[in-house]
Amino acid sequence: MVHTPFYDPNKSYEDNMAEGPFGEFANTKVYSKKVEIRKNKFLGQNVFLPFGIAAGPLPNSNFVITALEKGFDIAVYKTVRTGFVKSHSWPNIVPVKISGESLNFEEASEGLVQDSEYKTPIAITNSFGVGSLEPDEWQPDMKKAVDFAKEGQVVVGSFQGTNRGEGIKKFIEDYRLGARLVHETGAKVIAVNLSCPNEGKSNLLCYDRDTVFQIAKEVKEEVGNTPVYLKLAYFENNSEYAELIKEIGNIVEGIAVINTIPAKVYSDESKTTQALPGEGRLVSGICGAPIKWAGQDMVKRGREIVDDLGLNLQIIGVGGVTTPDDYEEYRSLGADAVLCATGAMWNPFLAQQIWEKFNN
């Protein structure tokens, strides 16, 4: 069963920001856990439940605060930038058809077709282009969200640099500036997005090891002791994954795996018309139930690499969590914490269900 999503795909990004959240997130009921905080540590912060909402569906403090009130003890504020970027035009989210339970790379490269309704198991594509307000606008709002977190909860500030075509040095500098701006809000954990598939580029930044290393170093120099995690995409090649972890494992405190699986999405079965209109939007990020295998595979392999190298690097599992059992599977594969986007959007009770099943 799918609930009314708290981020409404039938409205534009701007209207969601102005009017949301919706459905169960629109009421004022607060879910409280009347127990001592357990020993769960999320990047140095005590949390009741190491579970929450990944970067994306919480675009401002109204959404973040409600997520915290509904039992999501980790709430990631949607990725921001160092300057204004207009979000892609509506629609930004559509349901997609997948032939089986899981999306494999062959099917993704052949292209998917838009579905007519949102249903269980939930499978969508999203394409926002990581729109952002000016820092003068998002900084006070992010600070408001950060300050709202109660004991046992944490708000993560997520950001990414903008490549303005001025060369790699400037791009890395923009990451450094982004880190400073997020740090100024008082965010106790900072997420660096290196894996956005929606900017019309074929190669994701996270596959460029040298640049990732530079960014990680500069970001950490900027934010000091504040824990940082890097948001990565799926790595098919295990030695490249291992090399990356080796490179950044003593610089940052965590990795979040994965973002989405990029795929072409069409509105028609003959695959002639792209589902999301506009240049560079044929490919967008598939998320929800069919990508769970990929997030879990990255957690499992990541755990082995981290343990073999003797690193103290937390692994945050993301992708396809729609039930309490999905959460538990990620934990048993070695995830220190688990985040979800799509599953939470269509099930605002997910954190409460996980808490009641596994922590009472």
Ligand X SMILES: Cc1cc2nc3c(=O)[nH]c(=O)nc-3n(C[C@H](O)[C@H](O)[C@H](O)COP(=O)(O)O)c2cc1C
Candidate segments 19-27, 33-41, 50-58, 301-309, binder of ligand X by CB under 6 A: 50-58
Please pick, from the candidates 88, 183, 231, 281, the single residue that binds ligand X as defined by CB under 6 A: 231
In the shown chain, the binding pattern of residues 154 to 193 toward ligand X, with x for contact by CB under 6 A and - for none, equals ----x----------------------------------x
Does residue 316 interact with ligand X by CB under 6 A? no
Please pick, from the candidates 52, 56, 249, 324, the single residue that binds ligand X as defined by CB under 6 A: 56
**Nearest 5°: phi and psi at 145?**
-65, -45
Cis peptide bond N-terminal to 277, omega within 30: no
Overall size of the chain counted in residues: 360
Q: Which residue number, 47 or 75, has a Cβ lying nearer to ligand X?
A: 75
Shortest spacing between CB 335 and ligand X, in angstroms: 13
Torsion of CA 252, 66, 339, 23, to 10 degrees: -150
* Number of chain positions touching ligand X (CB under 6 A): 26
Type and span of the H or E element at 53: strand 51-53
Shortest spacing between CB 49 and ligand X, in angstroms: 16
- Cα 344 from Cα 287, distance rounded (Å): 12
Angle at 25 between CA 257 and CA 262, to 5 degrees: 30
Candidate segments 27-35, 43-51, 52-60, 206-214, binder of ligand X by CB under 6 A: 52-60
Q: Which residue number, 286 or 313, has a Cβ lying nearer to ligand X?
A: 286
The type of residue at 319 is G
Shortest spacing between CB 321 and ligand X, in angstroms: 5
286 has which bridge partners? 125, 261
What 3-state class would DSSP assign to 165?
coil
Q: 43, 227 in Cβ contact below 8 A?
A: yes
In the shown chain, the binding pattern of residues 239 to 268 toward ligand X, with x for contact by CB under 6 A and - for none, equals --------------------xx--------
- Cα 118 from Cα 97, distance rounded (Å): 10
| Closest by CA position to 183, among listed 221, 217, 213, 210 | 221
Does residue 342 interact with ligand X by CB under 6 A? yes
Q: Which residue number, 34 or 104, has a Cβ lying nearer to ligand X?
A: 104
Q: Which residue number, 20 or 56, has a Cβ lying nearer to ligand X?
A: 56
The type of residue at 301 is R
Please pick, from the candidates 341, 350, 351, 354, the single residue that binds ligand X as defined by CB under 6 A: 341
Does residue 25 interact with ligand X by CB under 6 A? no
| Closest by CA position to 62, among listed 97, 16, 105 | 16
Summarize as ranges the residues that interact with ligand X (CB under 6 A). Answer: 54-57, 78-79, 93, 126, 128, 130, 158, 193, 231, 259-260, 287-288, 291, 318-321, 340-343
